[in-house]
């Protein structure tokens, strides 16, 4: 199939403003969009800049806005995008070049919610055991690959770059609802502040954008309830 690809491009060393660039590419319907971007970069225009690493939806580096919605280029098939594709960098992040956005603040906010196991008791002599039901409670959050698609799809972050964002809350949920963890209270304290969970207006763009199928908004709502009811629900 022959496809027209429109890409919003920007080179800070040369352009004062972003502009639309167009490429006509021959592609197989079961090629992924990432393959097509590679074809452009390798055979048509070597200056086209984007991130990718694993090419299999695991590393989370190629989130971008494809036909208006945040998707991973490596998980989108050409047959699903139509004859004309529009590709833009994600909203809500500063553009470094072409499709590459600055993720520094994203990871800063991720670290701010303490996404690691916190314990205060003496270390047990054996493993920290957990039932299947207890493991199930926070299963969704463990699937996150930190691609930033959810955070970049959220109107609250477009309006306020300081808001902690859905991805951080997903990763806080991962530990708040872990029966082995003892840091729930301090994380809930952090997330109940001005730029914490309450900036979420249940818009559900994040849940639609997540390439891992995580019900992002639902996890945020669980964290809101944990704040209101004074702690996570037990399994």
Partner 1 sequence: MPEHQSHSYCLKAPPPASRIEEEMYKGQSGMWSWLFHRISGLGILLFLFIHIVDVSMLSFGPGVYNQSVVLFDYVVVRLLSLALVIAVLYHTFNGIRIMAIDFWRKGSRYQRAMFGIVLAATIIVFIPMAYYIMGPAFQWLTQAPHAATTGH
Binding site for partner 1 (CB under 8 A): 8-9, 14-23, 44-47, 65, 67-69, 86, 88, 91, 153, 155, 201-205, 207-208, 215, 217-218, 221, 224-225
Positions that interact with ligand SF4 (CB under 6 A): 60, 144-150, 166-167, 170, 209-212, 214, 216
Binds ligand FES by CB under 6 A, chosen from 31, 35, 57, 206: 57
User: Sign (positive/negative) of CA torsion 34, 40, 41, 47?
Assistant: negative
DSSP letter assigned to residue 200: -
CB 170 within 8 A of CB 141: yes
**Phi-psi category of residue 231: left, alpha or beta, with phi > 0 → left and psi -120 to 50 → alpha:** left
Binds ligand FES by CB under 6 A, chosen from 6, 8, 41, 52: 52
Helices 216-228 and 184-191, interaxial angle, to 10°? Answer: 100
Spatial separation of the C-alpha atoms in residues 110 and 230, rounded to whole Å = 23
Q: Which does 150 bind (CB under 5 to 8 A by kind): ligand FES, partner 1, ligand SF4, none?
A: ligand SF4
Q: Which does 36 bind (CB under 5 to 8 A by kind): partner 1, ligand FES, ligand SF4, none?
A: none
Site for ligand FES contains 74 (CB under 6 A): yes
């Amino acid at each position: 199939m022959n496809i027209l690809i429109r890409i919003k491009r920007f080179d800070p060393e040369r352009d004062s403003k972003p502009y639309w660039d167009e490429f006509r590419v021959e592609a197989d319907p079961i090629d992924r969009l990432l393959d097509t971007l590679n074809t452009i970069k390798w055979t048509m225009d070597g200056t086209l800049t984007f991130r990718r690493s694993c090419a299999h939806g695991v590393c989370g580096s190629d989130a971008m806005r494809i036909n208006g919605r945040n998707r991973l280029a490596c998980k989108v098939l050409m047959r699903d995008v139509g004859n004309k594709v529009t590709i833009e960098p994600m909203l809500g992040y500063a553009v470094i070049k072409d499709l590459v956005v600055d993720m520094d603040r994203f990871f800063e906010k991720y670290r701010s919610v303490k996404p690691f196991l916190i314990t205060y008791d003496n270390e047990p002599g054996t493993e920290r055991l957990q039932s299947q039901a207890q493991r199930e409670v926070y299963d969704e959050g463990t699937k996150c690959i930190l691609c930033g698609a959810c955070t970049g799809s959220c109107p609250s972050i477009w309006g306020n770059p300081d808001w902690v964002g859905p991805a951080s809350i997903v990763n806080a949920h991962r530990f708040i609802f872990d029966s082995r963890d003892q840091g729930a209270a301090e994380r809930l304290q952090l997330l109940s502040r001005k730029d914490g969970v309450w900036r979420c207006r249940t818009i559900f763009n994040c849940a639609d954008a997540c390439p891992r199928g995580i019900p992002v908004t639902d996890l945020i709502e669980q964290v809101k309830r944990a704040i209101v009811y004074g702690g996570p629900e037990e399994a």
